Amino acid sequence: AGAFKSLVLCAPPRPLGLLRENLSAPARERLSQVLAKDYLHASAEELEQRLRAE
pLDDT given at position 52? 86
**Mean pLDDT value of segment 1-5:** 76
Span 7-51, pLDDT tens digits:
899 999 999 999 999 999 999 999 999 999 998 899 999 988 988
DSSP label at residue 5: S
Q: Tell me how far apart the 2 most distant CA atoms of the chain are, in Å.
A: 30
- In the chain the beta strands, taken as DSSP E runs, fall at 7-11, 31-36
pLDDT given at position 1? 56
| pTM as predicted | 0.69
Check if the beta carbon of residue 12 is closer than 8 Å to that of residue 38: yes
Check if the beta carbon of residue 27 is closer than 8 Å to that of residue 4: no
